[in-house]
Amino acid sequence: MTKTLEQFKLLILVGILILIGQQIGFGLNAVQSIPGMIVVLLVAQLSLIIKGALPNVKFPAFAWATMISLLLSMPFMPTANWFLSTTGQVNFLGTTTPILAFAGISVGNKLGALKKMSWKIVIIAICVFIGTFFGSAIIAQIVLKLQGII
């Protein structure tokens, strides 16, 4: 129970940072976004609880959050309109700042492991960057072609 409470305190802090970032970066009213942020934080907390309750299931917490959100937003679900309109007040690009900050801290804590990989990590990173770029370009090309934009 104390772990859940600590996680929720951290999620609230992240939510506040996201609301501040939205106001500064995108000019969105932080007060209007609070209900949507609460829903996002509750989904995140629920996913962390599920992850903790099922330690033998190798399914990350973000995947649980994705599944919960997908379920709540399906067109046939009675929660869909409310869920989408409420969370639509949160600019999800604004969530990237704290997420990337935490990712940087996480990588910073593992510098010893990164040093052991040495030059191999550079090759892997280049392959990932190239694959992501071309994968995104191919998907964009197909979608834009199907829509008749290009």
- What pLDDT does residue 92 have? 82
Among positive and negative, which fits the CA dihedral 92, 74, 34, 2?
Answer: negative
- Listed by start position, the domains of the chain span 2-109, 111-150
Question: What are the mean pLDDT values of the chain's consecutive 10-residue runs (150 residues total)?
Answer: 88 90 86 94 94 90 93 94 93 80 76 76 87 93 91
Give start and end residues of each alpha helix (H) in 79-119: 80-87, 96-108, 111-117
Give start and end residues of each alpha helix (H) in 27-91: 30-53, 61-73, 80-87
Using alpha carbons only, how large is the chain's radius of gyration in Å? 19
Its pTM stands at 0.70
- What pLDDT does residue 149 have? 87
